[in-house]
Amino acid sequence: MKIKSFAPGKIILFGEHSVVHNRPAIAAAINRGVDVELTPRNDNIVHVIVPAIGYDEKHELTNSRLNYLIDSHKKMITDYIYEVINLFEFQSGFDIKVDINMYLGVGLGSSAAVTVSTLKAVSMYADKDYTKDELAGIARSIEIKIQGAASPIDTSMSTYGGIIYIDNEFNLHSVNVNMKLPLIVQNCQISGNTGKLVESVRQKYEKYPNIVGKIFDAMEQIAVDAKKALEEGNNEHLSNYMNLNQGLLDSIGVNTLELSEMVYTIRSHGAKGSKLTGSGGGGCIIAFCPDNIDEVYDSLDDNYPKFKCELSTEGVEASIIKD
């Protein structure tokens, strides 16, 4: 018997940075994320394998619990796995392989996907039948424990899937999408510092409130109109809103030469809309290719890693595989 689970990653479609200043944003779950495979053992060993980072460690249960001590200074992706395992009691040990099929540390919600997928598989092994609401709440509490603070966006996307609209009061609303969302995600392999970027934008806003405030207002209108485009299935409008949003992000200083090169190169290869996703300063871009994703993908060189993805509508899911 094996338990297999999957939780999606996420991208920010619209509203980076402006969402910090009480403007709306739109996030989407993607069908690239984290696959977990849990196999029961006949002893008290918990064997954790994370191929993406070359991690392979064994630990022993004591009185049915792991009680693994997290090193708060190292901040490893495995912390999220162990915090999940520490929650439960087990009758016997298990092997758990966590396959991360997305880029780490670039704003794609990898830690949330690891947490939610691991939580789904491990809770099933521990005979706990959590609702999606319960999974999202537990996963967010783990992210807060490890990170000190955490938005509900990433764990919500990994749990529920689909597209969410974050309103001016930071309430999350599901968007009824009437279109496919074929995307290319490309990674410049440089990690931006989110805290510093958010602070630099705040300082610009403080220094030039009338100018930056109007940029945020424009970002807000883009998010509002983009929600409508998603609901109506309007590829042309969605593409144009992405390109407009990219220009506004550039104007507040979160673009980079590498991101800009990727954005414009992929448009020249046929992408209809492209922009950075996340806080900027590095990380990833997304490109919307409604009619020609294979052609665009195959025409790009290998200077920057990339993958194709689509909208994940189901969120976290799991199955039990009988021997």
**Closest residue by Cα to residue 94 from 207, 30, 3, 197:** 3
List 154, 217, 302, 323, catalytic entry: 154
> Cα 29 vs. chain centroid, distance in angstroms?
7
CB neighbour class for 302 (10 Å; exposed up to 12, middle 13-18, buried from 19): exposed
Q: Which of 266, 118, 242 is nearest to 186 (CA)?
A: 266
129 is catalytic: no
> Cβ atoms within 10 A of the Cβ of 270, count?
15
Output the six-digit token pair for 156. 């919500």
Tokens of 199: 């602070």
Q: What is the chain's percent helix, strand, coil content, to nearest 5?
A: 40, 25, 35
**Which is it for strands 273-277 and 284-288: parallel, antiparallel or unpaired?**
antiparallel
| Torsion 265-270-273-276 (CA) sign | negative
For the annotated catalytic residues, the residue numbers are 154
